[in-house]
A and B are shown apart, each in its own frame.
Chain A
Amino acid sequence: EPEVTQTPSHQVTQMGQEVILRCVPISNHLYFYWYRQILGQKVEFLVSFYNNEISEKSEIFDDQFSVERPDGSNFTLKIRSTKLEDSAMYFCASSADRELTPLHFGNGTRLTVT
């Protein structure tokens, strides 16, 4: 069964540094998402992406965040200047259509900001 692939599985960075989290969605999917889960808390929506542009973003997704689909297969989340509170598990997801049929998540990237 096709999978959403995320790399790296764990990233450690210093406060103020830029990080790029990478995702390869399922190949025929058109809708892409990033979610975040702070340790021990619920999963929260960050941003959705369709037709090469952001469809919607949450309040969490401020100017420090950006997303890109640089080459038609990868989908990246960039955090420009990381803060301690950005430490979390970041999940990429994709779906084939607007009805989230179904929404497949990658295994996540655990980001630790020190």
Chain B
Amino acid sequence: AQKVTQAQTEISVVEKEDVTLDCVYETRDTTYYLFWYKQPPSGELVFLIRRNSFDEQNEISGRYSWNFQKSTSSFNFTITASQVVDSAVYFCALSDLQGGSEKLVFGKGTKLTVNP
């Protein structure tokens, strides 16, 4: 069965620090997709990135970067020069393409607090 582990429950940093959020996944699928979502205090789920299992290139988008390593089944997320607005819960998710449907399996989330 698909499983996503976000071992860090809460992280607190001071503004401008870099922070890495860890995500480890388990799957038997050879083709799968990994996602990160941001949930700010207002509660909505904001899509950040989707990654195909065949594409191990790291990705950078502004202050955000993602490191995908199949060898360790990890898909870590780094925020460079963190800002107060980055404070949110961040969820890593894995696609489950079996069972006749397609759905996401979420980790428990990491609550990031960026202090001024």
Interface residues of A (CB under 8 A from B): 31, 33, 35, 41-45, 48, 50, 55-56, 89, 91, 95, 98-108, 110
Contacts and interface: CB of A to CB of B under 8 A. Distances in A.
Given A56-B100, A100-B95, A103-B35, A44 B44 contact: no
A74 B65 CA distance: 36
Contacts of B97: 98-99
Given A100-B33, A105-B44, A42 B106 contact: yes
Main secondary structure of the interface of A (DSSP, over half): strand
Interface of B: 33, 35, 37, 43-45, 47, 50, 91, 93, 95, 97, 99-109
When A and B form their complex, which 10 residue pairs have the shortest distance between CB atoms, in order from nearest? A56-B101, A55-B101, A105-B45, A48-B101, A102-B50, A107-B44, A45-B103, A43-B106, A42-B108, A42-B106
Given A41-B108, A91-B45, A107-B43, A102 B35 contact: yes
A89 B104 contact: no
A91 B103 CA distance: 13
Nearest to A102: B50
A102 B47 contact: yes
A45 B47 CA distance: 16
B105 A45 contact: yes
Contacts of B106: 42-44
